Each structure stands twice: as C-alpha cells, then as structure tokens.
Amino acid sequence: MTQAIKDKVVVITGASSGLGEATARLLSAQSAIVVLGARRTDRLQSLADEVSSSGGKALAVTTDVTNCDQVKRLVDAAVQTYGRIDVIINNAGLMPQAPLERLKVDEWNRTIDVNIKGVLYGIAAALPYMQQQKAGHIINVSSVAGHKVGPGFAVYAATKHAVRALSEGLRQEVKPYNIRTTVISPGAVATELPNSVTEPDVAEKVRKSYEIAIPADSFARAVAFAMSQPEDVDVNEILFRPTSQAL
C-alpha cells in the first residue's frame, strides 16, 4: 500500500473499461476511494460493486463527458459523499481514424467533444473545489499521438496535442493553489479504443499495430507513480510505449 494514495478521493472518467477500469482497480487496492464515471451504467456499477466487495470504497455515477452538467454532477457527488476531491483523471477518450479526405465530419466533432471538451469539463468541475482546498491533482490523458502525427489520425492527434497544451497552461495557472498536474501519454495499450475506428481498411491497420499492445495496468501504474510522489514533487508528463513500438 502506498501511503500517499491511501484514502485519496479519486474521480475517474471513462471508468467502465480499459485504462479507467484498470486504474480504479489498482488505486482501490492501494486504499484510494474511487468515484467512477462512464456512460455504461451496468459495467460501471459492476466495477463499483467489485471494489466494494473487496473492502474498498467506490461510487458509480453515470456520466457522458460531452455533457458539462453531467461531469459537474460526477464531481459534486464525490465531494458530497466523501467531503473532498483529491484527484481527477480525465481519461474518457475516442480514437476514430481515417484520412481527412474521407470527410468523417461527424467523427471529427465527436472526437473533439470527448477528447478536448470532456477534459475541459473535468477541469471546470474539479478546479473550484481544489482551489478552495488549496490542494489537488489533475491528471489528463493524452497519447503518443499527442507527440507524433501520422497519416490517418490527424484529428485524433490534434485532440491529443490539445490535451497537452491545456495541461501545460493549467500547470502554470494553478501554482498559487498548490495543485499538481500530470499529462500521461500512452502508446499501444490494450483497451477498447481501436473499436472506435469505423473505416474497415483503417481498422485492420490499427488492429495489426495493436498486436504489440501492453496491458492497461501499465497506465494504472503510471498514475500511481505520479500520485505517490511527495506533495512538493509535481510529475508533469509521462510518455510510455510498448518496448517494441517504433512510432
């Protein structure tokens, strides 16, 4: 058990699968209190029940991160139930990919709504509480695509570059409030993200590239590392990949 994680109230978006689910399990095993947000109520509640049956504390709140009011309700529920919010992990994301010439405008808009606005809504919900507490930790999820751009994933990469830019601006602004900020950029990690690729030929390429994917708990361990540092240490960015990933 990491004492720096014990009893912290951690809000996680996109918690019903993948990175969010793995992180909820790892942090609750280290005695954090997890408040879980996602759209799939059944899976979310099942995870909360699993944590509770293992002796942990968990609260499930159905949340669509594209709805600012729902994200606020998620964070408000954490504070109302447990008295504070120590960490928010803005994890919910989509990864549709296709060449720009295919004009997948609806997918562009959805990706922007989830990957950028969803992060902003999480910040908007948590920041006032953390300013009042003069303490807190905001963890945003970018991607290797937030560092590198390739054909077929320009829009996804643009959203993940935006997450890094937002995180850096936030880092500079919250210094007076003793708030820490971390942006984590995973490479190929085994999640449901590739399922959001709708173009069959692109989906096949993504599937092949994800044959080297590492387990989602690799991300969870990165979160735990950033959280477990002494209060005067602010780990601002973590970029990790499978050892065999070239991109």
CB neighbours of residue 167 within 10 Å: 24
Question: In terms of C-beta density within 10 A (0-12 exposed, 13-18 middle, 19 or more buried), how is residue 229 classed?
Answer: middle
Whether residue 147 contacts residue 104, with contact meaning beta carbons closer than 8 Å, is answered with no
Among the listed residues 121, 156, 177, 210, the single catalytic one is: 156
What pLDDT is attached to residue 112? Answer: 98
Q: Is residue 186 in some structural domain?
A: yes
Q: Place 204 in a pLDDT band, splitting at 50, 70 and 90.
A: confident
Q: Which residue has the tokens 């729902």?
A: 70
Whether residue 63 contacts residue 70, with contact meaning beta carbons closer than 8 Å, is answered with yes
Write out the residue range of the structural domain in which residue 218 sits. Answer: 9-240
In this prediction, residues 115-136 reach a mean pLDDT of 98
Q: Residue 35: beta bridge partners?
A: 11, 59
Q: Is residue 59 in some structural domain?
A: yes
Q: Is residue 3 in some structural domain?
A: no
Q: Is residue 30 in some structural domain?
A: yes
What pLDDT is attached to residue 65? Answer: 98
Annotated active-site residue 156? The verdict is yes
In whole angstroms, give the CA distance from residue 29 to residue 78.
19
The answer to which of 64-78, 91-105, 117-131, 194-208 has the lowest mean pLDDT is 194-208
Q: Is residue 1 in some structural domain?
A: no
Whether residue 2 contacts residue 229, with contact meaning beta carbons closer than 8 Å, is answered with no
Average pLDDT, the chain: 95
Q: Is residue 202 in some structural domain?
A: yes
Task: Return the percentage of the chain with pLDDT > 70, whole number.
Answer: 100
The answer to which of 41-55, 103-117, 197-211, 223-237 has the lowest mean pLDDT is 197-211
Whether residue 45 contacts residue 20, with contact meaning beta carbons closer than 8 Å, is answered with no
In the predicted structure, residue 56 carries a pLDDT above the cut 60: yes
What pLDDT is attached to residue 1? Answer: 45
Q: Is residue 245 in some structural domain?
A: no
| Tally of domains within the chain | 1
The DSSP output letter for 189 is B
Q: Which residue has the tokens 């999640």?
A: 191
Better pLDDT: 208 or 58: 58
Q: Residue 85: beta bridge partners?
A: none
Q: Place 2 in a pLDDT band, splitting at 50, 70 and 90.
A: confident
The domain that holds 138 is classified in CATH as 3.40.50.720
In the predicted structure, residue 202 carries a pLDDT above the cut 90: no
The DSSP output letter for 116 is I
Q: Is residue 195 in some structural domain?
A: yes
Q: Which residue has the tokens 């050892």?
A: 243
Global pTM reads: 0.95
